[in-house]
């Protein structure tokens, strides 16, 4: 049998949910260009498309709002989150909070997925202030994560970010969720598998590492010196290149444009200039393009989120993708069980 480390390039299953990297740059959700969807639809519409093949987000909005309000009244859940967040990373808190809800109602796909999304939003919002009780009718999920004073621009920016995070083929966390689903386990367990996998810096955690790098420089000139020093030390620059896209990550320009639009203070503009300098060096000297994580972390900073909340926000967006893959894998009903290449002692 052929061996591919990390299963790179190996076709491990069939899906109707998305295509990633076709022609080098595209991302499509059930045939729709994901970038075009950010221009004309909301995250709730896209969630409905990914899970139920319908671009009408009305039902997702309704079920999300219902679960969000119910969970806000769940004192045991809120106490659990508040106690855990004292000592644990937000991803660990989120993983445990999702486990708390138990088995979601899998007979209604949109309902089950929206419940997991709602609990993610409440866990994240609890780190700043009390979760908002005034949801925006147009951007329901995004408004649950931002303060009531958020502008329409900020809501749209976060909404686009969630759309771009929503689905991305057989990435590591989605594959982990599908492996769990293939055993006929429940949806909540599959989502928790995804959360645990996304936590790693080579996957979801890359956005945290990228913005920490940007924040470590105070001027574009120092950024140039610092990046070259990292080159000399042969250290990896997070947020660049992609395992599937070979020319450009189509999500990055969308996020970059929002960062430019929202950067209005001198401090924000300086950080954006630093990011562009790092981007320029990586392009000219390493021929690497920024992926969604590089400018994504900067955008989330501009929206007021702490660095350790970036990956939990990724979870919120990706929860619908994981859910869709869970239901697709359960329908296919095939146990995922790859072989391994043994490299140990042959006989003792």
- Could you report the per-residue pLDDT of 237-274, keeping only the tens digit for each? 989 988 788 888 999 999 999 999 999 999 999 999 99
Residues 320 and 193 in one domain: yes
Residues 276 and 320 in one domain: no
- pLDDT value of position 133: 73
Catalytic residues: 203, 242, 293
**Tokens at 135, concatenated:** 């949801």
Residues 163 and 52 in one domain: yes
Q: Got the DSSP string for 228-239? A: HHHHHTT---TT
CA angle 317-32-256, nearest 5°?
55
Q: What is the model's pTM? A: 0.95
Residue 345 domain flag? no
Residues 37 and 172 in one domain: yes
Residue 217 domain flag? yes
Would you mind telling me the total number of residues written for the chain in this entry? 348
Residue 1 has pLDDT above 70, yes or no: no
Residue 341 domain flag? no
Radius of gyration of the chain (CA): 20
Q: How many domains does the chain have?
A: 2
Residue 1 domain flag? no
Sequence-distant (≥ 6) Cβ neighbours of residue 78 within 8 angstroms: 72, 122, 126
In whole angstroms, give the CA distance from residue 262 to residue 275. Answer: 14
- pLDDT value of position 326: 98
Residue 347 domain flag? no
Cβ atoms < 10 Å from Cβ of 54: 15
In whole angstroms, give the CA distance from residue 297 to residue 6. Answer: 26
Q: What is the CATH number of the domain that holds 159?
A: 1.10.580.10
In whole angstroms, give the CA distance from residue 95 to residue 188. Answer: 10
Residues 43 and 94 in one domain: yes
Residues 159 and 132 in one domain: yes
Question: 32-33 and 27-29 as β-strands: parallel, antiparallel, unpaired?
Answer: antiparallel
Residues 186 and 224 in one domain: no
Residue 280 domain flag? yes
- pLDDT value of position 129: 67
Residue 23 has pLDDT above 80, yes or no: no
- pLDDT value of position 188: 97
Residues 158 and 231 in one domain: no
CA angle 29-252-267, nearest 5°?
140
Residues 177 and 215 in one domain: no
In whole angstroms, give the CA distance from residue 289 to residue 278. Answer: 11
pLDDT tens, position by position, 49-90: 999 999 999 999 999 999 999 999 999 999 999 999 999 999
Enter the DSSP assignment of 22.
Answer: G
Residue 32 has pLDDT above 70, yes or no: yes
Residues 192 and 224 in one domain: no
What is the domain extent for residue 286?
206-302
pLDDT tens, position by position, 288-345: 999 999 999 999 999 999 999 999 999 999 999 999 999 999 999 999 999 999 999 9
Q: What is the CATH number of the domain that holds 251?
A: 1.10.230.10
The phi and psi torsions of 154 (rounded to 5 degrees) equal: -65, -40
Cβ atoms < 10 Å from Cβ of 69: 12
Classify the C-alpha dihedral 138-144-148-154 as positive or negative. Answer: negative
In whole angstroms, give the CA distance from residue 142 to residue 159. Answer: 6
Residues 264 and 321 in one domain: no
Residues 157 and 211 in one domain: no
Residue 25 domain flag? no
Residue 47 domain flag? yes
- pLDDT value of position 66: 97
């Amino acid at each position: 049998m052929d061996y591919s480390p990390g299963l790179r390039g190996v076709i491990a299953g069939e899906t109707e949910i998305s295509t990633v990297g076709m022609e080098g740059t595209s991302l499509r959700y059930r045939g729709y260009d994901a970038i075009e969807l950010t221009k004309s639809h909301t995250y709730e519409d896209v969630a409905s498309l990914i899970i139920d093949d319908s671009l009408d987000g009305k039902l997702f909005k309704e079920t999300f709002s219902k679960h969000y309000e119910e969970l806000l009244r769940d004192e045991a859940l809120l106490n659990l989150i508040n106690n855990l967040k004292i000592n644990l990373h937000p991803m660990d808190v989120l993983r445990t909070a999702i486990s708390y809800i138990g088995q979601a109602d899998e007979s209604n796909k949109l309902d089950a997925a929206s419940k997991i999304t709602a609990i993610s939003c409440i866990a994240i919002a609890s780190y700043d202030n009390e979760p908002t009780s005034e949801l925006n009718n147009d951007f329901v999920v995004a408004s649950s994560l931002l303060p009531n004073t958020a502008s329409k621009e900020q809501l749209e920016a976060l909404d686009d970010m969630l759309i771009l995070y929503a689905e991305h083929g057989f990435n590591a966390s989605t594959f982990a969720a599908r492996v769990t689903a293939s055993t006929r386990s429940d949806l909540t367990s599959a989502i928790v598998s995804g959360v645990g996998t996304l936590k790693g810096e080579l996957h979801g955690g890359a956005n945290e590492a990228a913005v920490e790098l940007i924040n470590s420089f105070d001027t574009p000139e120092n950024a140039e010196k610092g990046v070259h020093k990292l080159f000399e030390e042969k250290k990896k620059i997070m947020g660049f290149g992609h395992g599937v896209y070979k020319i450009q990550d189509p999500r990055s320009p969308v996020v970059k444009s929002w960062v430019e639009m929202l950067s209005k203070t001198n401090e924000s503009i300086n950080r954006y200039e630093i990011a562009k300098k790092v981007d320029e060096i990586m392009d000219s000297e390493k021929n690497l393009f920024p992926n969604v994580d590089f400018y994504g972390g900067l955008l989330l900073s501009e929206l007021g989120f702490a660095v350790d909340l970036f990956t939990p926000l990724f979870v919120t967006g990706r929860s619908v993708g994981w859910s869709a893959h869970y239901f697709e894998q359960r329908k296919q009903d095939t146990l995922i069980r790859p072989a391994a290449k043994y490299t140990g002692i042959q006989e003792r």
